[in-house]
Structure formats: structure tokens, C-alpha cells
Amino acid sequence: MGSRPFLKTGFPSLTKVFNIKTQNSREMKAKFNVLVERDEDGYYVATVPSLPGCHTQAKSLDELIERAKEAIELYLEVEKDIAPGEFVGVQVVEAETD
């Protein structure tokens, strides 16, 4: 596995800097917060909160980050004027279930 900064939880940093290629092949850097969770089947699932509907999954964290980058690039091909949100934090909320 590559050397990435880890949080106390053991997951990679939630904010990733990607070199995003635009349609005219010009590269720009953009930071997007990526929320990483593990599902019941053991897959890592990435969600990009500032890009509604932008999700991906993979068996390894390395593969997940590459897929997240690809998902962001594809999203930005369609939606041009996106301003990434500011990461504030993650809060675990407990709710009662029936």
C-alpha cells in the first residue's frame, strides 16, 4: 500500500488533492473531500459530499482513491461550475430503530 497520511481511525486523509484534466487537456488541481466507509461486504465506499451522486467502491484503499479520482473527473466533465465545500468534520449520530 502507498504511503498516505492516516487519521486516528486508520483511514486515509479524507481530503485528497487531484490533478483534474479538463476537456481541453488543461490540468488543474482541485481538492475534494472524500468520505470513506466500509460496507457489510468488506468493500470500501467513497462518497464526494460536494458532488451529489458521486460515489464509487473498491476492495482496496489504493484502488478506491484511483476510482474516486476518476469519478470526480467524469462528474466535472458534465458539471463545470463546482466549488468544493469546506470540510468541517464527521459526526456519528445515533438513531433508534424499530
- Prediction pTM value: 0.68
Report which of residues 93 and 87 the model is more confident about. 93
Residue range 61-87, pLDDT digits in tens: 999 999 999 999 899 888 877 777 788
Report which of residues 24 and 97 the model is more confident about. 97
pLDDT at 20: 57
d(CA 59, CA 78): 27
The pLDDT of residue 32 is above 90: no
Burial class, 5, CB count within 10 angstroms (exposed 0-12 / middle 13-18 / buried 19+): exposed
DSSP string computed for 31-91: EEE-EEEE-TTS-EEEE-TTSTT-EEEESSHHHHHHHHHHHHHHHHHH-----PPPP----
CATH number of 15-78: 3.30.160.250
Query: What residue segments make up the domains of the chain, in order of their start?
Result: 15-78
pLDDT band at 4 (very low <50, low <70, confident <90, very high): very low
